């Protein structure tokens, strides 16, 4: 279980201090948790706070009851937190096989590495020895990023907008990957997403807006209202266009 | 030979025991052993220290090893090696120099290698430089490579110098005739207070000649590197030079690419980039459970692989 207590974070911008996360309190125990909400609402910042990439000014983070607030990125990774970047990082000279081996924490065989790639919809043989560099497209990098988190097999896996840039790949496959991870790992999969089809598999939906938890609860309770609002917004936009 | 000398040989030339094919092993300023084959003749050079390697026209799939090791402190030598490669060959030449200096005097090897590559011949040339030993004496190497590629010839040159050499100045000069190709891949890592300078001058003289000079380097601690690369397009040709460097600690790196077109159909590109390891690369590897130091090692090793 992951628990966030009174997490606040602010950063400097041109207008001075901007409060990005305001006193966030969350308990995450469910298999699938989807964090959604408007752009700039603090979703990615919250994910980075959990992974240890951003240090909040105040608050506490507990993983299975253990206080991990002061642990480094590396220490949290070793305790079982994985993070798939929204914009995956490129490396000159490091191959896809190298990266998956590093993620798995050991030299894994080509066939094992290929198995992960196949699951994310990449024809493994074509990719395994390629460098994770600028020659790969954004969508290819996203899939490799997901494969690295699968190879880690930790109890908490965070995905920051995993569906972005992989339009051609059927959503069913992506969802199957998450479902399989959920079955085998038994921990929590936290997904930042705006996609209705990903929201639909959530055990819990958290709506983050203006740095605060605006709503939190079961999918069935949250989704109708959320999608209703979205439809309303669309209607307003359409109406404006028609004028 | 002592064990550390054999280790050095293995590092610079992949030689484990006696190599197959032609070879010439030079140790501490003198010939240690040599083997010639039906197609590859190796003999002393007239009038200057060094050897001539003569490869018969049409020789295919042969490998020639010519490593040099220096394990006595204070040896300074200048060696001239000529490679005369006939037409229509396909060969690999592995050179390299290893210095083990435990003493207080400077050890230095200056090798001047001249290549004459025949028509339609393909040559892969691998050169590795290694320095070790904790003496106070300098471990210095100054390799000069002069390359002449005849019509349709192809040369791939791979040079590696990872740590250990205090001072190096590498000069590579190449002249290419019609349809000739030169590919250079240089990998370099300096640390401590080492200095490395590399200087390429490529003349694309022949029609449809092409050159690709790529250097990747890492400069650590207080070390300095200077990368000079000049490509002259004197005909219809393609030239590309690229220097990509990672700078760490208090190191210095300069890259000075120069391209000159003397023909309307010369197409030349230079690229140079110097920067520290990107923070997000370190963070990504740390989220996989690596420490910052392990992440740095992986990034550097991958970059120089």
Q: Which CATH class is domain A2-242?
A: alpha beta
Could you tell me which residue, B134 or B271, shows the higher pLDDT? B271
Residue B138: count of CB within 10 angstroms of its CB: 17
- The Cα B127–Cα B23 span in angstroms is 14
How many A-B residue pairs are in contact by the CB < 8 A criterion?
Answer: 57
Strands, E, within chain B: which ranges? 22-27, 30-35, 40-44, 51-55, 60-70, 76-85, 90-100, 107-117, 122-132, 139-141, 144-149, 154-162, 167-176, 181-190, 195-204, 209-219, 224-233, 237-247, 252-261, 266-275
Q: Which helix (H) or strand (E) holds A61?
A: strand A58-63
Mean pLDDT across chain A: 89
Distance from C-alpha of A159 to C-alpha of A86, rounded to nearest angstrom: 7
Closest CA to A40 of A234, A208, A171, A238: A208
Gap between the Cα atoms of B213 and B286, Å rounded: 33
| Contact call for A73 and B278, based on CB within 8 A | no
Nearest chain B residue to A151 by CA: give it. B288
Q: Taking 60 as the threshold, does the pLDDT of residue A238 lie above it? A: no
Residues of B in contact with A93 (CB under 8 A): 216, 301-305
Does the beta-carbon distance from B298 to A85 stay under 8 Å? no
pLDDT surpasses 90 at A21: yes
Q: What is the DSSP letter of B36?
A: -
Among A36-40, A144-148, B10-14, name the one with the lowest average pLDDT.
B10-14
pLDDT at A168: 52
A133 near B CB under 8 A: no
Contact (Cβ atoms closer than 8 angstroms) between residue B78 and residue B108: no
The domain locations on chain A are 2-242
CB B291 to CB A74 under 8 A?
yes
Task: Reply yes or no on whether the pLDDT at B255 is more than 70.
Answer: yes
In tens, the pLDDT along A209-219 reads 999 999 999 98
Contact A72 B299 (CB under 8 A): no
The pLDDT of residue A192 is above 80:
yes
CA distance B288 to chain A (A): 5
If DSSP codes are grouped into helix, strand and coil, which group holds residue B146? Answer: strand
Residue B278 contacts A where some CB pair is shorter than 8 Å: yes
| Half-sphere exposure for A128 (CA within 13 Å, toward CB) | 15
Q: Select from A53, A83, A93 the Cβ nearest to the Cβ of B303.
A: A93
| Calpha distance B59→B38 (Å, rounded) | 10
**pLDDT at position B226:** 97
CA of A74, closest CA in chain B: separation in Å? Answer: 5
Q: Which helix (H) or strand (E) holds B193?
A: none
Cα separation of A49 and A39, whole Å? 17
pLDDT at A43 over 70: yes
- Residue of A122 and A240 predicted with greater confidence: A122
- Rounded CA-CA distance B144/B25 in Å is 19
Q: Any CB–CB contact under 8 A between A72 and chain B?
A: yes
Q: Which pLDDT belongs to residue A210?
A: 93
- List the single residue in A89, A92, A105 with the smallest CB-CB distance to B284: A89
Chain A residue numbers touching B284 (CB-CB < 8 A): 85, 88-89
Q: If pLDDT is split at 50, 70 and 90, which confidence band does A235 have?
A: low
For residue B134, the model assigns a pLDDT of 76
Q: Which two tokens stand for residue B28?
A: 């501490």
Contact B281 A89 (CB under 8 A): yes
State the pLDDT at residue B166.
Answer: 92
- pLDDT tens-digit readout, B113-150: 999 999 999 999 999 888 887 777 888 989 999 999 99
When CB atoms are compared, the residue of A81, A91, A105 closest to B299 is A91
Ranges assigned E (strand) in A91-221: 156-160, 188-192, 204-209, 212-217
> CB A148 to CB B288 under 8 A?
yes
Choice among A96-105, A182-191, B180-189 with the minimum mean pLDDT: A182-191
Closest A-chain CA to B303: A93
The CA distance from A44 to the nearest CA of chain B, in Å, is: 15
For the stretch A122-136, pLDDT in tens is: 877 888 999 999 899
Which residue would you say has higher pLDDT here, B201 or A237?
B201
Answer yes or no: is pLDDT of A241 > 80: no
* pTM of this structure: 0.86
Q: Are A90 and A137 a contacting pair, CB within 8 Å?
A: no
Contact A78 B289 (CB under 8 A): yes
B298: nearest CA partner in chain A: A94
What is the model's pLDDT at position A243?
46
Residue-wise pLDDT for B66-113, tens only, equals 999 888 888 888 999 999 999 999 999 999 888 888 888 888 889 999
Shortest distance between the Cα of B70 and any Cα of chain A, in A, equals 32
Please indicate whether residue A123 or residue A20 has the higher confidence score (pLDDT).
A20
For A85-203, strand residue ranges (E) read 156-160, 188-192
* Interface residue A74 vs chain B (CB under 8 A): yes
| Residues A94-125 pLDDT 10s | 999 999 999 999 888 989 899 899 888 887 78
Find the Cα–Cα–Cα–Cα dihedral A130, A136, A142, A145, rounded to 10°: 30
Given a cut of 50, whether residue B216 has pLDDT beyond it is yes
B9-68 residue pLDDT tens:
888 877 776 778 899 999 998 898 999 999 999 999 998 999 999 999 999 999 999 999
Task: Tell me what pLDDT residue A20 has.
Answer: 95
Interval A147-181: pLDDT, tens: 999 999 999 999 999 987 766 555 678 888 888 88
Q: Is residue A89 within 8 Å of A102, Cβ to Cβ?
A: no
- How much is the average pLDDT of A184-195? 90
Q: Is B199 on the interface with A (CB under 8 A)?
A: no
Residue whose tokens read 């907008």: A161
Asked if A127 reaches chain B (Cβ–Cβ under 8 Å), the answer is: no
- Does A34 contact B at CB distance below 8 Å? no
Nearest 5°: phi and psi at A51?
A: -75, -10
């Amino acid at each position: 279980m992951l628990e966030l207590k009174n997490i606040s974070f602010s950063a400097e911008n041109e207008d001075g201090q901007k409060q990005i996360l305001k006193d966030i309190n969350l308990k995450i125990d469910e298999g699938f948790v989807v964090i959604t909400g408007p752009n700039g609402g603090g979703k990615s910042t919250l994910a980075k706070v959990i992974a240890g990439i951003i240090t909040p000014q105040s608050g506490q983070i507990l993983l299975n009851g253990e206080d991990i607030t002061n642990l480094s990125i590396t220490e949290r990774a070793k305790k079982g937190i994985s993070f798939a970047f929204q914009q995956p990082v490129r490396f000159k000279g490091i191959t896809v096989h190298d990266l998956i081996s590093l993620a798995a924490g050991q030299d894994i065989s080509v066939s094992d590495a290929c198995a992960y790639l196949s699951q994310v919809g990449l024809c493994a043989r074509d990719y395994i020895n390629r460098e994770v560099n600028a020659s790969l497209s954004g969508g290819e990098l996203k899939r490799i990023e997901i494969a690295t988190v699968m190879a880690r097999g930790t109890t908490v896996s965070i995905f920051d907008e995993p569906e972005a840039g992989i339009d051609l790949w059927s959503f069913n496959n992506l969802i199957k990957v998450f479902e399989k991870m959920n079955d085998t790992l038994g921990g929590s999969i936290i997904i930042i997403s705006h996609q209705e089809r990903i929201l639909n598999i959530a055990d819990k939906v958290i709506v983050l807006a203006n740095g605060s938890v605006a709503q939190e609860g079961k999918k069935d309770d949250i989704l109708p209202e959320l999608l209703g609002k979205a439809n309303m917004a669309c209607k307003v936009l359409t109406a404006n266009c028609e004028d | 030979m002592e064990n550390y000398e054999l280790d050095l040989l293995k590092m610079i030339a992949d030689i484990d025991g006696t190599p197959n094919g032609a070879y010439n092993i030079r140790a501490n300023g003198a010939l240690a052993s040599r083997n010639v084959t039906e197609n590859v003749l190796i003999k002393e050079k007239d009038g200057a220290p060094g050897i001539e390697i003569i490869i018969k026209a049409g020789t295919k799939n042969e490998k020639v090893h010519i490593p040099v090791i220096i394990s006595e402190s204070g040896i300074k030598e200048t060696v001239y090696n000529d490679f005369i490669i006939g037409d229509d060959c396909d060969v690999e030449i592995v050179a390299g120099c290893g210095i083990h200096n435990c003493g207080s005097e400077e050890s230095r090897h200056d090798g001047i290698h001249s290549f004459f590559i025949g028509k339609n011949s393909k040559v892969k040339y691998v050169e590795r430089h290694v320095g070790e030993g904790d003496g106070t004496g300098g471990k210095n190497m100054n390799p000069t490579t002069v390359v002449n590629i005849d019509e349709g010839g192809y040369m791939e040159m791979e040079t590696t110098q990872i740590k250990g050499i205090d001072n190096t100045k590498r000069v590579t000069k190449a002249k290419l005739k019609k349809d000739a190709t030169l590919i250079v891949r240089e990998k370099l890592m300096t640390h401590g207070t080492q200095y490395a300078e590399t200087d390429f001058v490529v003349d694309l003289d022949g029609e449809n000649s092409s050159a690709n000079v790529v250097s990747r380097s890492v400069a650590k601690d207080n070390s300095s590197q200077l990368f000079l690369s000049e490509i002259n397009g004197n005909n219809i040709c393609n030239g590309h030079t690229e220097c990509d460097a990672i700078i760490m600690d208090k190191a210095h790196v300069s890259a000075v690419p120069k391209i000159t077109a003397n023909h309307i159909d010369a197409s030349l590109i230079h690229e140079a980039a110097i920067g520290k390891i990107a923070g997000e690369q370190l963070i990504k590897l740390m989220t996989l459970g690596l420490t910052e130091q392990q992440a740095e090692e992986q990034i550097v090793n991958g970059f120089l692989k």
